[in-house]
């Protein structure tokens, strides 16, 4: 049975002719349908980010239909009994109404929130894949910069999103953001006044500004950059891991039509299904519990969304260093953790491709990916740098460890003020020697492990079969990967 029968064939031919007479695009479409995708699971991380973005746009449009960006004070009379009679901003009331009184409103808000967390998580994992396999090298360095820009925008977008709600938690986050803006030497106070329309908590124009940033400016920038990102991939074709038949000059994999297109549409539906399932079943950001924001109130043990955790951690870990002349502060403390730390992290990431080129003198084009073990120094630097950021991120939740496990908060901070420098150095050396020994032994500890076969004995006991898994033809569909000739295995 053919997928395209005779009736469909006539319709399709008419459609193609119709399009051809107007656009003359047959060659281009043909090129698209023959486009080859290399097969590797890690290539799906970027697609998950893309499809989370689709879910974010769809659910976000729904939310904008109900959200009111207004700070005028109103009295709540909605269905949530515990807040009835409470004075709050119209913005917060509109989100409460969305959550309790709009059909499917809570579902859409929770899916939106979960999708944002998944969106940024998949971008970060995608970035790790790109870094550790050397996919950022020429000619993809340009696309790597686009990706990093999208990550920065996505973090800003997420922060703007949960700040719109104007509950106690989002107000506290904005107070910190305002303080970070104020900490910039010379211009900080002017910048803070400019963005907030006056001293914190700002004028009535602040929430509408934040809404435009969240629903128009950043999403439009992201959509543009996504288009550039994908167009640039298609122009250069995907990178691929080395293997039999795979050269720098070719791409081996699955063509767009019929295989990859259907598979990718399947992934879109799967991502949407999982996000709606999670959004429907697992509560996230129960804004009614925090209550309305006032500058004189705060929530104890508050935690931001995960992608802000590294900034909270940096602000908490920083000692109280604040240079001053006489009784006048020159550099307020939040500058270190809130401005310089993210600048260093993104600065290193942006500088890396050209830095590596300068060190290795490798100006060639690379379309074959590296296996992390084959570049021990790069992998070790990446692991150390990643651990440096992850430690700062983890420090953001030291108060939770104190509440749960009663480990002294001050002791944890004092420990990590040293550990933040010691541990990454240790990780550097451990990773580098692990890479080198894997390289020397050529073993694949994470591949082809099929578990242990067990037998259910008549007496009810479970007995492992000593021989281990039987060798079958379907051991691995992946071709063996080796180091190609001329493929340096030392240095970066």
Partner 1 sequence: MQERDALLDEQRTDELVELIESGGEGISRRALLTGDGGVAGAALVTAAATPLASLGPRLASVHKTPWQRGVRLVDDQGQPYPADQIQIGSFYTALPEGADPDSLGAPLLVVRLPASEIHLAPARVGWAPAGILVYSKICPHAGCAISLYRYPTYAPTSTATPAFTCPCHYSTFAPGEGGRLIFGPAGRSLPQLPLMIDGQGYLRAAGPFHEDVGPSWFNVHRAQS
Total residues at the site for partner 1 (CB under 8 A)?
67
Which residues in 367-406 contact partner 1 (CB under 8 A)? Answer: 367, 399
Which residues in 39-68 contact partner 1 (CB under 8 A)? Answer: none
Of the candidate residues 321, 363, 473, 480, the single one contacting partner 1 (CB under 8 A)? 321
CB of 330 to partner 1, least distance (A): 7
CB of 242 to partner 1, least distance (A): 14
CB of 174 to partner 1, least distance (A): 9
* Candidates 105-113, 156-164, 168-176, 373-381; binding stretch for partner 1 (CB under 8 A): 168-176
Q: Is 242 in the site for partner 1 (CB under 8 A)?
A: no
Q: Is 172 in the site for partner 1 (CB under 8 A)?
A: yes
In the three-class reduction of DSSP (H, G, I as helix; E, B as strand; rest coil), residue 268 is classed as helix
Q: Is 364 in the site for partner 1 (CB under 8 A)?
A: no
Q: Is 330 in the site for partner 1 (CB under 8 A)?
A: yes
Angle, CA 422 vertex, CA 419 and CA 426 arms, to 5°? 125
Of the candidate residues 312, 349, 392, 435, the single one contacting partner 1 (CB under 8 A)? 312
Q: Is 435 in the site for partner 1 (CB under 8 A)?
A: no
Find out whether 174 and 199 touch, Cβ atoms under 8 Å. no
Q: Nearer Cβ to partner 1, position 149 or 298?
A: 298
CB of 53 to partner 1, least distance (A): 27
Q: Is 258 in the site for partner 1 (CB under 8 A)?
A: no
Of the candidate residues 315, 384, 389, 492, the single one contacting partner 1 (CB under 8 A)? 315
CB of 167 to partner 1, least distance (A): 14
Q: Is 472 in the site for partner 1 (CB under 8 A)?
A: no
Of the candidate residues 69, 105, 192, 353, the single one contacting partner 1 (CB under 8 A)? 192
Of the candidate residues 205, 295, 441, 463, the single one contacting partner 1 (CB under 8 A)? 295
Using DSSP bridges, classify how beta strands 324-325 and 254-255 pair: parallel, antiparallel or unpaired: unpaired
Give the integer Cα–Cα distance in Å for 430 and 55.
40
Q: Is 365 in the site for partner 1 (CB under 8 A)?
A: yes
Q: Is 456 in the site for partner 1 (CB under 8 A)?
A: no
List all residues 6 or more positions away from 29 whose beta carbon is below 8 Å from its beta carbon.
Answer: none
Q: Nearer Cβ to partner 1, position 178 or 307?
A: 178
Beta strands in 265-409 (DSSP E): 324-325, 328-329
Q: Is 309 in the site for partner 1 (CB under 8 A)?
A: no
Q: Is the peptide bond before 258 cis (omega within 30 degrees of 0)?
A: yes
Q: 245: how many CB neighbours lie within 10 A of its CB?
A: 7
Q: Is 161 in the site for partner 1 (CB under 8 A)?
A: no
Q: Is 27 in the site for partner 1 (CB under 8 A)?
A: no
CB of 299 to partner 1, least distance (A): 7
Give the integer Cα–Cα distance in Å for 111 and 281.
10
Give the integer Cα–Cα distance in Å for 357 and 188.
37
* Surface-to-core class of residue 7, CB atoms within 10 Å of its CB (0-12 exposed, 13-18 middle, 19+ buried): exposed
- Own/partner pairs, 229-233, CB within 8 angstroms, 24+ separation: 229/143, 229/146, 229/147, 229/150, 230/50, 232/140, 232/142, 232/143, 232/146, 233/143
Q: How many CA atoms lie within 13 A of 443 on its CB side?
A: 7
Q: Is 449 in the site for partner 1 (CB under 8 A)?
A: no
Q: Nearer Cβ to partner 1, position 111 or 335?
A: 335
CB of 103 to partner 1, least distance (A): 34
Q: Nearer Cβ to partner 1, position 182 or 492?
A: 182
Of the candidate residues 7, 41, 328, 449, the single one contacting partner 1 (CB under 8 A)? 328
Name the residue among 381, 217, 399, 233 with its Cα closest to residue 304.
399
Length of the chain, in residues? 492
Give the integer Cα–Cα distance in Å for 237 and 232.
8
Q: Nearer Cβ to partner 1, position 35 or 108?
A: 35
Q: Is 297 in the site for partner 1 (CB under 8 A)?
A: yes
Q: 230: how many CB neighbours lie within 10 A of its CB?
A: 13
Of the candidate residues 21, 327, 461, 477, the single one contacting partner 1 (CB under 8 A)? 327
Sort residue 448 into left (φ over 0), alpha (ψ -120 to 50) or beta: left
One DSSP character per residue, 287-356 reads: HHHH-B--TT---TT----GGGHHHHHHHHHS-----EETTEESS-THIIIIIIHHHHHHHHHHHHHHHH
Rounded to a whole number, what is the distance in angstroms from the first to the last CA of the chain? 53
Largest CA distance in the chain: 88
Give the integer Cα–Cα distance in Å for 431 and 439.
12
Give the integer Cα–Cα distance in Å for 487 and 362.
12
Of the candidate residues 69, 105, 158, 332, the single one contacting partner 1 (CB under 8 A)? 332
Q: Nearer Cβ to partner 1, position 199 or 286?
A: 199
Q: Is 203 in the site for partner 1 (CB under 8 A)?
A: no
Residues forming contacts to partner 1 in the complex (CB under 8 A) are 34-36, 139, 172, 175-176, 178-180, 182-190, 192-193, 199-201, 235-237, 245, 248-252, 294-302, 312, 315-316, 318-322, 324, 327-334, 337-338, 365, 367, 399, 409-410, 413
């Amino acid at each position: 049975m053919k997928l395209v029968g005779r009736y469909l064939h006539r319709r399709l031919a008419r459609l193609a002719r119709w399009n051809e007479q107007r656009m003359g695009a047959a060659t281009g479409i043909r090129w698209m349908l023959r486009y080859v995708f290399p097969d590797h699971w890690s290539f799906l991380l970027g697609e998950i980010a893309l499809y989370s973005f689709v879910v974010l746009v769809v659910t976000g449009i729904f939310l904008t239909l109900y959200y009111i960006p207004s700070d005028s004070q109103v009295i709540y009379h909605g269905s949530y009994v515990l807040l009835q009679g409470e004075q709050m901003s119209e913005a917060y009331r509109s989100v409460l109404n969305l959550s309790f009184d709009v059909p499917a409103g809570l579902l859409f808000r929770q899916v939106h929130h979960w999708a944002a967390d998944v969106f940024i998580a998949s971008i970060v994992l995608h970035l790790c894949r790109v870094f550790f396999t050397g996919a950022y090298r020429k000619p993809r360095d340009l696309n790597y910069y686009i990706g990093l820009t999208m990550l920065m925008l996505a973090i800003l977008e997420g922060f703007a999103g949960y700040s719109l709600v104007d509950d106690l938690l989002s107000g506290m986050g904005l107070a910190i953001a305002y303080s970070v803006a104020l900490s910039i030497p010379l211009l900080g106070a002017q910048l803070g006044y400019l963005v907030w329309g006056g001293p914190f908590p700002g004028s009535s124009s602040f929430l509408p500004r934040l809404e435009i940033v969240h629903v128009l400016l950043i999403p439009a920038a992201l959509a543009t950059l996504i288009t550039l990102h994908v167009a640039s991939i298609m122009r250069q074709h995907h990178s691929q891991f080395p293997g039999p038949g795979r050269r720098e000059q070719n791409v081996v994999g699955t063509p767009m039509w019929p295989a990859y297109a259907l598979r990718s549409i399947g992934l879109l539906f799967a991502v949407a299904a999982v996000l709606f399932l999670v959004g429907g079943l697992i509560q996230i950001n129960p804004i009614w519990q925090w209550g309305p924001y006032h500058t004189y109130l705060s929530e104890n043990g508050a935690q931001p969304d995960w992608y802000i955790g590294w900034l909270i951690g940096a602000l908490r870990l920083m000692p109280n260093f604040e240079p001053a002349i006489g009784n006048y502060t020159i550099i307020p403390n939040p500058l270190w953790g809130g401005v310089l730390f993210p600048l260093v992290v993104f600065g290193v990431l942006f500088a890396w491709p050209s830095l590596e080129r300068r060190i290795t003198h490798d100006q060639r084009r690379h379309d074959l990916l590296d296996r992390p073990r084959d570049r021990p120094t790069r992998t070790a630097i990446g692991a150390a740098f990643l651990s440096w950021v992850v430690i700062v991120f983890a420090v953001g939740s030291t108060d939770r460890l104190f509440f749960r496990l009663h480990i002294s908060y001050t002791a944890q901070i004092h420990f990590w003020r040293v550990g933040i420098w010691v541990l990454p150095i240790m990780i550097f050396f451990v990773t580098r020697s692990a890479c080198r020994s894997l390289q020397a032994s050529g073993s694949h500890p994470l591949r082809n492990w099929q578990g242990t076969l067990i037998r259910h004995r008549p007496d009810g006991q479970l007995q492992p079969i000593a021989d281990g898994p039987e060798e079958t033809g379907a051991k691995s569909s992946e071709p063996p990967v080796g180091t190609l000739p001329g493929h340096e295995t030392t240095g970066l």
